[in-house]
Amino acid sequence: MIFDITYQLSKLSTCSHVSIELKNVTKKFGETTAVNNVTFSVKEGELMALLGPSGGGKTTVLRMIAGLEMPTAGDVFIRGQRVNDLSVQHRNIAFVFQNYALVKWKRADVKARVAELLNLFGLEGLERRYPHQLSGGQRQRVAIARALASKPGVLLLDEPFGAVDAKIRQELREWLVTLHNELNVTTIFVTHDQEEALEVSNRIVIFSRGVLEQVGSPREVYEQPANEFVARFIGVMNVLEPEVHNGVARIGELEFPPHGQAEGQKLRIGFRPYAVQISSDVAQHRYRAVLRRTFFLGVLLRVELELPSGLVLRARMTKEEYAQQGMEDGKAVSFQIRQYRVLAGDNAGLPPEGELSDQAAPTVSGKLGVA
Ligand code: ATP
């Protein structure tokens, strides 16, 4: 029965001040450092994503919070209590894995609560079905409903929607947000899907190779990425490496100020698609390109610009802009890069975006001014 798809770790009374804190937590498996000196906290009632590429240490962090792994160094706190030595059963935490979960507590105790939750989730009647009689999406909803049955203080979800197709995944994301708003249970979920983390969570913790790269709201990590790794991992970024000649950093027809680089050296420049301003008036901006390809994503369209030199840049336009300007693939356009950052390296901090003054074509000096 569906009982077998929920792994309930404990059922202590709900505490009104749930919060989780990791302080300088390291986890080693033999020679492998899965989690390296990680510190962050989760506020009561927060919906937090642990995001990062495969092998980044997300699952290990989740398992240490659950009590399924012991930190090699550092401390885990739940509601201010150090829980390093507390067994899973005493942490008041519910855990749902990607494909399945198991139940470990008395069926009679949960029956009423399950009925209540299934009702809330619009899943009435499904409790008598076997897992194979449910769709992937229903199975995950039921698993989560059952995990919540004992009113846990914290809900941990490991890639909860990893095994379902794109459409159901989208429905489940929306459902999780609604559910969280309804129940306000502190929830931490693991995902490697940037869009999912941005769309669903209040805050995101980004890991790579066991290191915490940044903690912040979706907006913060997108608009103020702490380093190049985060900037490239969250959303799309154009990265160019112009070389300095005669005091100007050039790549193809694009020119940037040298930013202190000496003659012959390369500079790394990064800018978001939204920083590229496009006009169908080929005389309006400094640079020319052809709109090579359009991806229809919804309200915002992603476009690829191909420059005469062969360079390809990614940009964004709203549907309205696109229509108003009579855009279509193959159309000649002009563009400018309004903002960019000078990138230093994967783990180096990012300086703020530089603003570029509007460059009407043609420019006299050929240099971009930085406001
Ligand atoms: P994924 O998205 O692939 O699940 P992840 O970010 O969740 O990745 P972890 O599963 O936490 O990453 O793994 C982090 C590192 O620790 C990896 O190098 C992994 O191989 C290693 N690791 C995890 N669990 C163990 C274990 N029980 N024994 C040995 N190494 C492990």
Specify the pairing of strand 248-251 against strand 243-245: antiparallel
Residue 314: phi, psi to the nearest 5?
-105, 135
pLDDT value at 7 more than 50:
no
Measured from the CB, is residue 35 less than 6 Å from ligand 1? no
Kindly state the average pLDDT of the residues 338-352. 70
- Please report the pLDDT score of residue 215 as a whole number: 96
Q: Which atom of ligand 1 is nearest to the CA of 207?
A: 6
Kindly state the average pLDDT of the residues 264-283. 93
Bridge partners (DSSP) of residue 35 are 27
Measured from the CB, is residue 31 less than 6 Å from ligand 1? no
- Please report the pLDDT score of residue 297 as a whole number: 76
Judge contact between 58 and 52, C-beta under 8 A.
Answer: yes
Listed range (246-250, 268-272, 365-369) with the worst mean pLDDT: 365-369
In terms of Cβ atoms closer than 10 Å to its own Cβ (0-12, 13-18, 19+), residue 22 is: buried
pLDDT value at 291 more than 50:
yes
Specify the pairing of strand 154-158 against strand 186-191: parallel
Measured from the CB, is residue 57 less than 6 Å from ligand 1? yes
Residue intervals in the chain for CATH 3.40.50.300: 18-233
SS3 helix, strand, coil % of the chain, rounded to 5? 25, 35, 40
> 170: which 2 tokens?
């989208």
Measured from the CB, is residue 56 less than 6 Å from ligand 1? yes
Listed range (63-77, 140-154, 196-210, 219-233) with the worst mean pLDDT: 140-154
Measured from the CB, is residue 192 less than 6 Å from ligand 1? yes
Q: Provide the pLDDT confidence category of residue 123 given band limits of 50, 70 and 90.
A: low
Q: Provide the pLDDT confidence category of residue 141 given band limits of 50, 70 and 90.
A: confident
Ligand 1 center from residue 60 Cα (angstroms):
6
Ligand 1 center from residue 72 Cα (angstroms):
15
Residue 212: phi, psi to the nearest 5?
-80, 120
Ligand 1 center from residue 59 Cα (angstroms):
7
DSSP string of 97-133, one letter each residue = -SS-----S-HHHHHHHHHHHHHHTT-TTGGGS-GGG
Listed range (120-134, 280-294, 334-348, 354-368) with the worst mean pLDDT: 354-368
Ligand 1 center from residue 249 Cα (angstroms):
42
Indicate which residue's Cα is closest to atom 16 of ligand 1. 34
Measured from the CB, is residue 58 less than 6 Å from ligand 1? yes
**Fold (topology level) of 238-355:** OB fold (Dihydrolipoamide Acetyltransferase, E2P) (2.40.50)
Side-chain-side CA neighbours of 21 within 13 Å: the count stands at 11
Residue intervals in the chain for CATH 2.40.50.100: 238-355
Indicate which residue's Cα is closest to atom 19 of ligand 1. 55
Tell me the angle at which helices 136-147 and 107-120 cross, rounded to the nearest 10 degrees.
120
Bridge partners (DSSP) of residue 287 are 335
Measured from the CB, is residue 191 less than 6 Å from ligand 1? no
pLDDT value at 365 more than 80:
no
Q: Provide the pLDDT confidence category of residue 100 given band limits of 50, 70 and 90.
A: very low
- Please report the pLDDT score of residue 130 as a whole number: 64
Indicate which residue's Cα is closest to atom 20 of ligand 1. 55
Q: Provide the pLDDT confidence category of residue 362 given band limits of 50, 70 and 90.
A: very low
Pick one of 3.90.1150.10, 3.40.50.300, 3.30.470.20, 3.20.20.140 as the CATH number of 18-233.
3.40.50.300
Ligand 1 center from residue 33 Cα (angstroms):
9
Ligand 1 center from residue 58 Cα (angstroms):
8
